[in-house]
């Protein structure tokens, strides 16, 4: 790593502790070395967990984030720690999904971002939450998320 490019990163390459809540998590960013072209970046968190705000029971989701970067990229270790910080966080599915998306969008100002939160059933009903910042950019290959709907046992 070049010190001048990564000098402000606090978490990459060192020992870290999982933040206890999203408010304690520190997202980090790096300059996009390919900012002259548009391309898609995908993060997939197939084992995302949070807590039900009513029962404190764990909730599970498959979270998929696509974004077309501008000047900044999300540093992936900091994103992993940010997502992990929801393990002790009580919030409804909709709130968790949108909080993740808005935090990333507000921090790196991507040209475009979408999130799919594919939540496993609570009370027998799976809840899927989707959001994006605007129209999908023309000319950028953005694959479908292709997360199958929840089917239960059969």
Catalytic residues: 52, 59
Helical pair 76-84 and 93-108, crossing angle rounded to 10 deg: 150
Q: What is the chain's Cα-based Rg? A: 16
Coil, strand or helix: which one is 100?
helix
C-beta neighbour count of 48 within 10 angstroms: 22
Cα–Cα distances in angstroms (integers) from residue 122 to residues 13, 50, 55, 101, in the given order: 38, 12, 11, 22
Coil, strand or helix: which one is 76?
helix
**Euclidean distance between CA atoms 65 and 136, whole angstroms:** 13
């Amino acid at each position: 790593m070049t010190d001048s490019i990564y000098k402000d990163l606090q978490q990459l390459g060192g020992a870290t502790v999982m933040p206890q809540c999203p408010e304690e998590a520190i997202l980090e960013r790096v300059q996009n070395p390919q900012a002259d072209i548009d391309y898609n970046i995908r993060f997939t968190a197939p084992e995302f967990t949070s807590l039900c705000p009513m029962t404190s029971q764990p909730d599970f989701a498959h979270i998929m984030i696509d974004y077309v970067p501008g000047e900044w990229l999300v540093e992936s270790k900091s994103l992993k720690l940010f997502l992990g910080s929801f393990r002790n966080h009580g919030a409804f599915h909709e709130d968790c999904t949108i909080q993740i998306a808005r935090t990333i969008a507000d921090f790196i100002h991507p040209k475009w971002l979408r999130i799919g939160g594919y939540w496993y059933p609570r009370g027998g009903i799976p809840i899927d939450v989707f959001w994006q910042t605007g129209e999908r950019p023309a000319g950028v290959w953005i694959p479908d998320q292709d997360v199958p709907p929840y089917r239960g046992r059969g």
